[in-house]
Structure 1
Amino acid sequence: MINLKQHYLTLLVRERRYALLGTFLAIVTTFSGIALLAVSGWFISAAAAAGLSTITAHTFNFFTPGAMVRGLSISRTAGRYGERITSHEATFRIIAQLRADLFKFVAAQKWNEQQLNRHQVSSRLLQDIHNIESIYQFAVIPALTALAVSIGYLITLILVLPQLSLMVAPILFAVCILIPWLYSQRVLEPENTQQEQQSLMWMESSTLFNGIRTLTLFRQIEPRGATLQKQSEAMDRWEAKTLNRQQQVLLLSQISLAAMAIISFWQGFIAFNAGQLEGAYIFMLLLLTLGSAEVLAGTCPALASLVLGLRALSRLEAHSSSARQIEDQRLFQNPNKQEMAVHVKQLTYVYPQADKTVLRKLNFKQQGPEWIWLKGPSGCGKSTLLQLLNGDLNPTQGRIEFDGFQPHKVQFMPQRIDILRASLRDNLCLHHPHSDEQLWTALEQVELASWAKHLPHGLDTWLGENEWQPSGGESKRIGLARILLQDPNLILLDEPTAGLDTDLSVTLLQRLADQWKDKLVICSSHECFRKMNQNRSIQL
């Protein structure tokens, strides 16, 4: 199992040149901004004090402080520009690799059993990926910047007013450590509950809008609408509670920083009266404190982003365990054997968190080449059996043995065909090289050649959402064309002709039967079993 925290750290180290440069420039920019504020305050107050006397007005050095102000302004602007370029470059580089790795990791899991299509799971997954992507930009850089500002501020106080540094140190510890920890406990703990509330509301909304006709017919619109309203009110109350907690903790942080500013101003006046500090330096010290406080105020959100990102990584690792990323339990014997056979022994399957057993001690042995039809009422387990044979699910009990097959020579066509937002060519090839002649031959065999020729750009026409969208029947035939191009030995078809008229269904299946006469085909189809006059079947 992949250690995602270590993997993220590896990506960060790999892009360390941009990441470190972005962090360094962020710190330089912050220091320039704080120093600009402090020097400007000293310059204005010192110039004002010098202007009270004709002698001091002529002797006061206006040029050096003015040069310092201009230099700090330039360094702040240049640093900010450079920090944006480098930190965003580091972020984009990390995200580009991280997204590919995370979705590859997700695709390797047994998500069929986790019901990934459920809104609660999928929305949580996407939110976790977003939180992981935010770690560097919104957690690492602000946290390191706040740490550098705290150290720099303390060193300045030790050099200027050592007694003040002893008073301010506990406040800095509270603002940088204790209050962010309290923030994580008070604000971030309810995060899962809030996510669940939101998912429930969206699921209820989806059910309401998708079933509005049926609900209207049975006069259930008002009760379901009332349920949705109650869930919305509950989520609003929870969000308000979380927001109140957030404001309380942030208010505590602001009070601490205000106390630090008051103490600094008070100690500055004491030092001025004792002759330890010039009057202009009092305002410089106050502005230095206020500028540092503004940076330190972002410590809590930075910690929140870090905690959310680390929790997201932990959740994905937990999904890896719960999804049982184990070796394929199918047994492939004698892959080079000429005779093809599938042997199912005492096969039992129960979906996680479900009481009903879908398949119970199923036994059969089929030798090929041959077409085998799965028979049985809806919900009897035909689709589940095909997914078990394809390795998408692992048996609860029993075993599946193959003779004369290699794993990559087993191909499954599910009921729902996913159309990629890509060209028709890419939708057919699926990253495998095929010539145009092979593509057109496959399209002709599934009665799609004429349709493809009338597309705006032929094989290069983009399909999918917001592009050229195939109908349900056209999508089914694209799925069949994919199987033809992949040329497997064991073909698993789940309702391959659903949505097609009967005559076209029979024509396609007869053509495929001739094409696949040397294959072992296991097919589930309510419509065409009788039309094809087939006797070889498995009753479920």
Structure 2
Amino acid sequence: MKEPTSMQGSTRKALGPWLRLMGERRARLLFGALLMLATLLFAIGLLTLSGWFITATALTGMTLAAGGAATLDVFTPGSGIRFFAVGRTAARYAERLYNHDTVLRLLADIRGRTFASLSRLSGRELARYRAGEWLNRLTADIDALDNLYLRLLAPPLVGLLAILVVGGILALAMPALGGVLLAIMLPLWVIVTLGMAVAGLGPSARRVETLERLRVRALEHLQGLAELRTFGVLGAHRERVEREQRALLDDQRRLGRRAALGNALVTLTVQGAAVAILCLALLAFAAGKLSAPVASMLPLAVLALNEGLAMLPGAFVQLGATRTAAARLNAEAATSLRDDAEGALTSAEAPSITFEAVTLRYPGMGTTPALEDVNLHVEAGERVAVLGPSGSGKSSLAQLVVHAFDPDAGSVQLAGQDLRSLAPQALRSRLAYLTQHTELFHASLADNLRLGLPVEHDLDEAAVERALWQALWIVDLEGWARELPHGLDTWVGEAGRQLSGGQARRVALARVILRDAPLVLLDEPLAGLDATTATTVAERLDTWLDGRTALMFAHRRDALPHCDRALVL
């Protein structure tokens, strides 16, 4: 008994946060479960009443053929059959439509929570995994959780209620029949839920890990094809990919066999229970305790239970995958919470920045530090240019200021407060950062710009539009945007592919301007611009930067707006 008990405890721990998140939509979940139950009850009613009606009609016909007198009301049961048939169709349609909409809402909640957790991770935590592994967590792990309600919570509950309902119907006809049914079906319910979960725990959990490794290796194989071929290890790498693929297929076959065994068990048990109830009902009919139509309809009610139980083995054999995915996401959320400090900035003015004997080494990059014993002080409201060739440490300084990493030695202070003592939200609400890489989304120009607006600013739509146009004017894109076919509602394409490199860069810069933050970091803000445009943007940025503390990074000083002083790395 230790294994199931241990499994239940770890499953509860892994799924608990997501169950609480789903509880925020408990009304929708309850209504969706009621639709499932209504669909199953309509199916039971249809099969049961149809069996009774067919038997009663046959017996009436036999009596009349034998010359006896008999009557049968065909209209009432006929109306009931039509009611159950139409009801089952309508309930099934409504259930599928409503519950899939609910699941999509739940997945949106889960994705929102997951992105919020990942956004709080430090650069060191993010560097623990490759991009393919993070992608797997944001796609496959979250997708695995869509089984939680639609396959693992509502269906077993509905199946159990259906067993109790049919048991009650049989008990009304004859109490012993209800007891026999419950004695057969309740153990079956336990086997196809808890039993199948235990049977599939190992393979389904391994499948999640193997699938992630396979995706990462496949991406490496495609992206590093030239390097693998150059160093003569293409064949060895292909063998590793194929080995992961074989391991995945082996576990999928194991799960398929166990799910098939569970389905066979459900079918055989339900049919065996129907035969047992039929035999007992016929004995009761022979003893005069039941009529022939009632004796024939009771086994049909039992057969209808197959619809409510048939999907349970295939769902619960995958419980290990759902639990593993939830546990992995929980681990990232726990890490982000551990990284959360609670300090707040004591002033809303432009802050000073101080680097005291800072040394930084990136994880997995050997012993050579990216920065070593750096001392720098930037006064509040001062603009400092940090110049140097690629690899000199410019971006590393920026990463320390935004608290993507903690220094290995020394400290970084903002307005005299150590960054490690500040809550991430307190820092990010005061900071605007233009990174080296421009990230635009497959959405409208306005949507991409609105990402820069501080969430705490409650602006009406007119004020938001004015702010968007003002930011576009500063980066010299206002005239271009007004000539677009749909203005601000024009879509920029995947990763901004509808824009030129310079336009995409300026859209990202406009997003930084919309932050309206007192601390600004600009990494190559004028990259990709022609001389005339760069001069115009630099002049307008010069005005906008008044009163803000700014660190600007570039290879040459003439690629930046006006600065109070310049440092060379």
Q: Settle same-fold status: TM greater than 0.5.
A: yes
Q: Does 1:420 align with 2:433?
A: no
Q: Deviations over 1:67-96 (max 9, x none)?
A: 332333343344445545654565566556
Q: How many residues end up aligned between the 2 structures?
A: 531
- Assess if the C-alpha contact under 8 Å between 1:328 and 1:394 holds in 2: no
**C-alpha distance in structure 1 between counterparts of 2:532 and 2:234, whole Å:** 40
| Aligned partner of 2:508 among 474, 479, 497 | 479
Task: Check 1:271–1:52 CA distance in 2 against 1; reply closer, same or farther (3 A cut).
Answer: same
- Assess if the C-alpha contact under 8 Å between 2:385 and 2:567 holds in 1: yes
State the 1:25 CA deviation: 3.7
The residue correspondences of 1:249-268 to structure 2 (distance < 5 A) are 249-268=262-281
State the 1:194 CA deviation: 1.2
Task: Check 1:65–1:402 CA distance in 2 against 1; reply closer, same or farther (3 A cut).
Answer: closer
Q: Does 1:23 align with 2:33?
A: yes
- Assess if the C-alpha contact under 8 Å between 1:271 and 1:277 holds in 2: yes
Q: Deviations over 1:412-448 (max 9, x none)?
A: 1122221133332343343636676765564455454
Classify the secondary structure of the residue corresponding to 1:251.
helix
**C-alpha distance in structure 1 between counterparts of 2:533 and 2:205, whole Å:** 50
The residue correspondences of 1:314-333 to structure 2 (distance < 5 A) are 314-328=327-341, 332=345
Task: Check 1:281–1:354 CA distance in 2 against 1; reply closer, same or farther (3 A cut).
Answer: farther
Matched with 1:65 is 77
The residue correspondences of 1:376-387 to structure 2 (distance < 5 A) are 378=391, 382-387=394-399
Task: Check 1:485–1:148 CA distance in 2 against 1; reply closer, same or farther (3 A cut).
Answer: closer
Task: Letter of the 1:211 partner, please give it.
Answer: G
Task: Check 1:350–1:275 CA distance in 2 against 1; reply closer, same or farther (3 A cut).
Answer: farther
Classify the secondary structure of the residue corresponding to 1:523.
strand
State the 1:11 CA deviation: 1.6
- Assess if the C-alpha contact under 8 Å between 1:335 and 1:403 holds in 2: no
Task: Check 1:447–1:195 CA distance in 2 against 1; reply closer, same or farther (3 A cut).
Answer: same
Task: Check 1:213–1:83 CA distance in 2 against 1; reply closer, same or farther (3 A cut).
Answer: closer
Matched with 1:141 is 154
**C-alpha distance in structure 2 between counterparts of 1:353 and 1:94, whole Å:** 37
Matched with 1:391 is 403
| Aligned partner of 2:484 among 455, 458, 461 | 455
Task: Check 1:436–1:26 CA distance in 2 against 1; reply closer, same or farther (3 A cut).
Answer: closer
Q: Does 1:465 align with 2:494?
A: yes
**C-alpha distance in structure 2 between counterparts of 1:437 and 1:48, whole Å:** 79
Classify the secondary structure of the residue corresponding to 2:293.
helix
Matched with 1:343 is 354
- Assess if the C-alpha contact under 8 Å between 1:37 and 1:288 holds in 2: yes
| Aligned partner of 1:122 among 128, 135, 144 | 135
Matched with 2:61 is 51
Query: Between the two proteins, what is the percent identity of the paired residues?
Result: 26
Task: Letter of the 1:174 partner, please give it.
Answer: P
| Aligned partner of 1:364 among 375, 383, 391 | 375
Classify the secondary structure of the residue corresponding to 1:418.
coil
Is there any run of 5+ residues in structure 1 with no aligned partner, and where?
none
Matched with 1:34 is 44
Q: Does 1:169 align with 2:182?
A: yes
Task: Letter of the 1:295 partner, please give it.
Answer: G
State the 1:290 CA deviation: 0.8
State the 1:292 CA deviation: 1.5
State the 1:187 CA deviation: 1.7
- Assess if the C-alpha contact under 8 Å between 1:21 and 1:83 holds in 2: no
Task: Letter of the 2:411 partner, please give it.
Answer: R
Q: Deviations over 1:21-62 (max 9, x none)?
A: 443343233222112212211221232233223244643443
**C-alpha distance in structure 1 between counterparts of 2:100 and 2:315, whole Å:** 17
Matched with 2:10 is none
- Assess if the C-alpha contact under 8 Å between 1:341 and 1:404 holds in 2: yes
Task: Check 1:253–1:478 CA distance in 2 against 1; reply closer, same or farther (3 A cut).
Answer: same
Compare 458-467 and 496-505 and name the one that shifted more: 496-505
| Aligned partner of 2:209 among 183, 192, 196 | 196
**C-alpha distance in structure 2 between counterparts of 1:214 and 1:307, whole Å:** 37
**C-alpha distance in structure 2 between counterparts of 1:57 and 1:374, whole Å:** 108
Compare 528-537 and 114-123 and name the one that shifted more: 528-537
Q: Deviations over 1:86-121 (max 9, x none)?
A: 545655665565554554454444477235772223
- Assess if the C-alpha contact under 8 Å between 1:463 and 1:469 holds in 2: yes
Task: Check 1:136–1:491 CA distance in 2 against 1; reply closer, same or farther (3 A cut).
Answer: same
Compare 467-476 and 154-163 and name the one that shifted more: 467-476
Task: Letter of the 1:75 partner, please give it.
Answer: G
Classify the secondary structure of the residue corresponding to 1:455.
coil
Task: Letter of the 1:190 partner, please give it.
Answer: P
Q: Deviations over 1:126-150 (max 9, x none)?
A: 3343344454433443223212211
Classify the secondary structure of the residue corresponding to 1:190.
helix
Classify the secondary structure of the residue corresponding to 1:420.
coil
Task: Check 1:290–1:515 CA distance in 2 against 1; reply closer, same or farther (3 A cut).
Answer: closer
State the 1:183 CA deviation: 1.1
**C-alpha distance in structure 1 between counterparts of 2:435 and 2:230, whole Å:** 33
Classify the secondary structure of the residue corresponding to 1:295.
helix
State the 1:174 CA deviation: 1.9
- Assess if the C-alpha contact under 8 Å between 1:350 and 1:358 holds in 2: yes
RMSD: 4.0
Compare 429-438 and 315-324 and name the one that shifted more: 429-438
State the 1:354 CA deviation: 7.5
Q: Deviations over 1:245-285 (max 9, x none)?
A: 22233333333323322322332333344443344334312
- Assess if the C-alpha contact under 8 Å between 1:154 and 1:169 holds in 2: yes
Task: Check 1:42–1:218 CA distance in 2 against 1; reply closer, same or farther (3 A cut).
Answer: same
**C-alpha distance in structure 1 between counterparts of 2:469 and 2:75, whole Å:** 79
Matched with 1:528 is 556
Classify the secondary structure of the residue corresponding to 2:491.
coil
Q: Deviations over 1:435-471 (max 9, x none)?
A: 7676556445545456545533343322132976223
Task: Letter of the 1:52 partner, please give it.
Answer: M
**C-alpha distance in structure 1 between counterparts of 2:443 and 2:286, whole Å:** 76
- Assess if the C-alpha contact under 8 Å between 2:196 and 2:313 holds in 1: yes
Matched with 1:409 is 430
Matched with 1:281 is 294
**C-alpha distance in structure 2 between counterparts of 1:277 and 1:512, whole Å:** 91
- Assess if the C-alpha contact under 8 Å between 2:202 and 2:320 holds in 1: no
Task: Letter of the 1:410 partner, please give it.
Answer: L
State the 1:206 CA deviation: 1.9
**C-alpha distance in structure 2 between counterparts of 1:62 and 1:302, whole Å:** 41
**C-alpha distance in structure 2 between counterparts of 1:530 and 1:91, whole Å:** 54
State the 1:485 CA deviation: 3.9
- Assess if the C-alpha contact under 8 Å between 2:49 and 2:297 holds in 1: yes
- Assess if the C-alpha contact under 8 Å between 1:36 and 1:69 holds in 2: yes
**C-alpha distance in structure 2 between counterparts of 1:307 and 1:226, whole Å:** 28
Q: Deviations over 1:346-403 (max 9, x none)?
A: 545566687757557744232231323154762x654343122113344566432222
**C-alpha distance in structure 2 between counterparts of 1:133 and 1:168, whole Å:** 33
**C-alpha distance in structure 2 between counterparts of 1:257 and 1:500, whole Å:** 73
Task: Check 1:500–1:323 CA distance in 2 against 1; reply closer, same or farther (3 A cut).
Answer: same
TM-score with structure 1 setting the length: 0.82
State the 1:510 CA deviation: 7.8
